[in-house]
Amino acid sequence: MDALAKLFCSSARLKLLRLFMFNDKMSFTAEDISFRTKTSTAVARKELHALLSVGVIRKRGVRRATKYFADKNFIYFDSLLLFLRETTVIGPKDVLTALGKAGSLRLVILTGIFTGVIEPKIDLLIVGDKLEERALISAVRTIEADFGREIRFATFSTEDFRYRYGVYDRLLRDVFDYEHRTILDKIGIS
């Protein structure tokens, strides 16, 4: 459990806070919150109740149709958002550990929300061979749960990546033209 999780009582509450603060224009059902934060529905409901009582979030609807959303009128909304943005860091080791179960990774590049630049079309570029799609999606969902935001990602085989890189593919140019961090390079691009 990281220091922030201890500060906010639990890692589940921290995940919910990140989800609401980083997606302040969206509303979620309890089941959706549970899925996105990778917590049980019971734990999610308990933390939702706590956040409702503080006033960080509000709800609309009844029973199954109840949707929860960030209350932008919360007195500390801007301060809390700034604090969470400044302190939410997913380290390269965490990303590689999560993605490592998906197959043989050759190149992993962080861009977009990982570098604070929103312009690129993707946040995570993954190049590998024999990548298992289900394991890859599960790994990305795990990173999303910790990060509190949806991650836009693209995957390529090594051969496909080399071809696209050679013909100056627009998506790849987008990644390499903006700020990015190469956290694994077995191809020799950087």
51-62 pLDDT, tens digit per residue, is 998 889 999 988
- The token pair at 52 is 């409702």
The CATH number of residue 108's host domain is 3.30.460
- Per-residue pLDDT at 1 exceeds 70: no
- The token pair at 125 is 């570029």
Give SS3 for 42.
Answer: helix
Residues 50-102: pLDDT tens digits? 899 888 999 998 877 899 999 999 988 999 888 888 887 778 888 899 898 88
Query: Band of the pLDDT at 4, cuts 50, 70, 90?
Result: low
Residue that finishes a domain, picked among 44, 59, 87: 87
Residue that finishes a domain, picked among 87, 110, 144: 87
Q: Which domain holds residue 103?
A: 92-185
30 burial via Cβ count (<10 Å: 0-12, 13-18, 19+): middle
How many separate domains does the chain show?
A: 2
Residue that finishes a domain, picked among 87, 107, 139: 87
Give SS3 for 168.
Answer: coil
Angle ∠(75,15,86) on CA atoms, nearest 5:
65
- Both 133 and 177 in a single domain? yes
The CATH number of residue 77's host domain is 1.10.10.10
Range with lowest mean pLDDT among 68-77, 111-120, 143-152, 171-180: 111-120
